[in-house]
Structure 1
Amino acid sequence: MNRPHLILTDVHRHYGDGAKTVRVLEAANLTVASGELVALVAPSGAGKSTLLHLSGLLESPQSGEVEITGIKTSQLGDRGRTQLRRSTVGYVYQFHHLLPEFTALENVSMPQLIAGKSPEQAKGRSMELLDLLGIGQRASHRPAELSGGEQQRVAIARAAANHPKIILADEPTGNLDPETSDIVFAALAALIKDEGAAALIATHNHDLARRADRIVTLKGGLVIPHSL
């Protein structure tokens, strides 16, 4: 097994107090290794988004440990968590959230420029990713000039722009037709393998989930293996 980039150990997360407490995760455990794509399939309200937010350091557990690239995040303050998230986690949402006034190339370059790369470095990395995802010829087009599948592939390239060790995706093909979903998922899977990232992808699409390295679900606050 490759080196684990993401480890959740006995993670607990609940919301509210007293009788109104909603317990979402109870002693949840999960490990995702470099180059591994794990599909998260669970009913709405089971806690998929919570698990993704904890894995991406957007939320903190009440107890338990979230370890990213060997770093135990319970020992970090807010600034340390933010810095670690920015340097190691890429997030792909159901909606692409591209900046409409910028081209595909510029959208992918943006996070790299913010991270301190030169314009030349950012452009080179952006073209590399867009070519890998099969849309290099669309680099100069703005989002409104791209199809839904092309826009989502630009969003995937943007998430991978700074070489994240972990890629998290929340229904990345949820707004696409079946044929386009298949193309986008294949591109995402190829990128994950090529980059050696650890990926956790929440999806309702069982056909796509079967193409992951393994499938997990949430039941009773636990992360458990799942077969479709």
Structure 2
Amino acid sequence: MSKPHLRLSGVHRHFGEGETLVRVLEAADLTVASGELVAIVAPSGAGKSTLLHMCGLLERPQGGEIEITGTPTTKLSERGRTLLRRSTIGYVYQFHHLLPEFSAVENVSVPQLIAGKAPAAANKRSMELLELLGVAHRASHRPAELSGGEQQRVAIARAAANHPKVILADEPTGNLDPATSDLVFGALQSLIRDEGAAGLIATHNHDLARRADRIVTLKDGLVQPLTL
């Protein structure tokens, strides 16, 4: 298997204390390799979003270690975590969060410009991604002029704009009809494989989850394999 871009080792995450203590993760382990897509399927409230937030360095575990491209992150400063997140992680949310005043291609270019890329190079990369995701013909359109599926594919392109080594997606097809969900999931899967990223996606859609390389669930505080 390819080198793992994402590795969780003995990760703990609790909420509350005493009688209200909720143990979300207890010594959880997970490895996702380059070009691999892993689907997380678990009931609401099981901790899928918490797990993704920790993998995305948006939350810290209370124990254990999370490695991104071999770099331990638990003891990194907030600035160190921010810099690593910007350079190596792409995040796709259930709601696209596109900037309404910018066109599709501009939305994809923004994170590249923030990272210091020249405008022409950012535009070229943006158009390549929009082409890969089948929405290049909508490049000049603003989000309000795009369908839900088109908006989400632009959001995926934006997440991949800076060549992240880890792509995380939290219910990215949750607001889409079945046909559009299938299209968006396929685009995300192709992108992860083409870019050689480690992909981790939380979904309630069992049909889509079966298309992933592996399926896991959260049970008894552990990340466990799941067969659907």
Tell me the TM-score normalised to structure 2 length.
0.99
d(CA) in 2 for partners of 1:107, 1:34: 26
1:114-193 equivalences in 2 (<5 Å): 114-193=114-193
Task: Give how far 1:74 is off.
Answer: 1.8
Identity %: 79
Matched residue type, 1:112: Q
Report the more deviating stretch, 43-52 or 69-78: 69-78
Q: Distance in 2 between matches of 1:95 and 1:125?
A: 23
Structure-1 separation of matches of 2:77 and 2:171: 30
1:6 alignment partner in structure 2: 6
Separation (CA, whole Å) in 2 of partners of 1:176 and 1:20? 35
4+ residue runs over 2 A deviation? none
Q: In 2, distance between residues paired with 1:74 and 1:178?
A: 38
What per-residue deviation string (whole Å, max 9, x for no partner) do you get for residues 146-175 of structure 1?
A: 111000000000000000000000000000
Q: How many residues align?
A: 228
- Whole-Å separation in 1 of the counterparts to 2:199 and 2:185: 12
Residue of structure 1 equivalent to 2:92:
92
Q: Secondary structure at the match of 1:183?
A: helix
123-132 or 69-78: bigger deviation: 69-78
The alpha carbon displacement at 1:47 in A equals 0.5
Distance in 2 of aligned mates of 1:192 and 1:14: 31
In terms of mean alpha carbon deviation, does 174-183 or 68-77 score higher?
Answer: 68-77
Question: Which residue of the partner structure matches residue 106 of structure 1?
Answer: 106
Please report the RMSD computed on the Cα atoms of aligned residues, expressed in angstroms: 0.6
SS in 1 for 2:74: helix
- Pairwise CA distance, 1:75: 2.7
Measured in 1, the distance between the counterparts of 2:13 and 2:49 equals 12
SS of the residue aligned with 1:186?
helix
Deviation of 1:113 after TM superposition, in Å, equals 0.4
Structure 1 residue 18: deviation in Å? 2.1
CA distance in 2, matches of 1:183, 1:9: 33
CA drift at 1:20: 1.8
2:207 corresponding residue in structure 1? 207
**1:77 CA displacement:** 1.1
Partner SS for 1:5 = strand
Secondary structure in 2 aligned to 1:54? Answer: helix
In 2: Cα distance, 1:183 partner to 1:33 partner: 24
Q: Which amino acid aligns with 1:127?
A: M
2:26 is paired with a residue of what secondary structure?
strand
Q: Tell me, in whole angstroms, the C-alpha distance in 2 between the residues paired with 1:51 and 1:75.
A: 18
Aligned equivalent of 2:60: 60
* Residue type of the alignment partner of 1:135: V
Structure 1 unaligned spans of 5+: none
Q: Does 1:72 align with 2:69?
A: no
What is the match of residue 43 of structure 1? 43
For 1:129 and 1:41, the matched residues in 2 are separated by: 28
In the alignment, the residues of structure 2 paired with residue 60 and residue 200 of structure 1 have an alpha-carbon distance, to the nearest angstrom, of: 18
Alpha-carbon distance between aligned partners in 2 of 1:9 and 1:95, rounded to the nearest angstrom: 30
SS in 1 for 2:81: helix
Pairing 1:33–2:33 present: yes
Q: Within 2, Cα distance between the matches of 1:156 and 1:149?
A: 11
Match of 2:224 in 1: 224
2: distance between equivalents of 1:43 and 1:102?
36
> What runs of 5+ residues in structure 2 fail to find an aligned partner?
none
Instruction: State how far apart, in whole Å, the 1-side matches of 2:43 and 2:17 are.
Output: 24
State the secondary structure of the residue aligned to 2:97: coil
TM-score of the superposed pair, with normalisation by structure 1: 0.99
